[in-house]
Amino acid sequence: RRTNYSCASWRPIHLQINYLIIMLSSCFVRVARRSAASAPAATMAARRSMAAAAAPSTVVSSSFNDGPPSVFDKIVKVTIIDPSGARRIIPAMVGQTLYAACDLNGVDLGPSSSGPPQEKVRSTTWTEPLYGEGAASGFDHVLLQGGNEGVEIAEPAHDNEKKMIEEYWDADEIFPESRLASQVEINAKMDGMVVYVPDRIVDDIP
């Protein structure tokens, strides 16, 4: 008598296992699709919010809107008044000396002889000795604008600078605003500062 075998009865066992795995995977995919289609609107909105939060922000910082750093951010304008009363505005780089700024812009302050600084004020309680020569002449005498914020926060004159001013200039030519240009370091707060240049001392005698 002929026996009627089912299709599955004669298949190898590994093929039957693969067939069951494929069928189960298809069932899981259909269930997942149906669940996603029937998800509440609130859940979908929450997913969108999370995706928006995870996305990189396109808002550009205001610091980038100002453009890249420029050398002009380190330049201040200084007004020079000569003995005749004529005014001239020159650029000065933050960190350089007032003498160097004047020399680069053709303002004659006489010769300058200055070595490394004697000391450097690091804080209100500490002045570091650097053992330099400091000012060695007093030709480059100038008067800095009183009340200027940059002048007020600038490092005050050291004893050697005061000594050179007193040796080269008469008492009636020295004022509280008197400084040697080679000893004044330009800072950002000196923008708009006024500098008066007194009559020069004769410095070309052999």
Segment 81-107, tens digit of pLDDT? 999 999 999 999 999 999 999 999 999
Task: Count Cβ neighbours within 10 Å for each residue of 77-116 and write b for 16 or more, e otherwise.
Answer: ebebbeeeeeeeebebebeebbbbbbbeeebebbebebee
Q: What pLDDT, in 10s, does the model give residues 122-177? A: 887 888 887 777 888 999 999 999 889 999 999 889 888 999 999 999 999 999 99
Asked if 128 contacts 117 with a C-beta cutoff of 8 angstroms, the reply is no
Instruction: Give φ, ψ of 15 to 5 degrees.
Output: -70, -35
pLDDT score of 61:
44
Please name which of 118, 101, 107 lies closest in space to residue 182, comparing C-alpha atoms.
101
pLDDT score of 91:
96
Q: Using pLDDT thresholds of 50, 70 and 90, give the confidence band for residue 49.
A: low
Q: What is the mean pLDDT of residues 47-76?
A: 60
| Residue 83, SS3 per DSSP | coil
Mean pLDDT of the chain: 79
Entry field: residues in the chain: 206
User: How many angstroms separate the CA atoms of 139 and 113, rounded?
Assistant: 9
Name 29's Cβ contacts closer than 8 Å, sequence gap at least 6. none
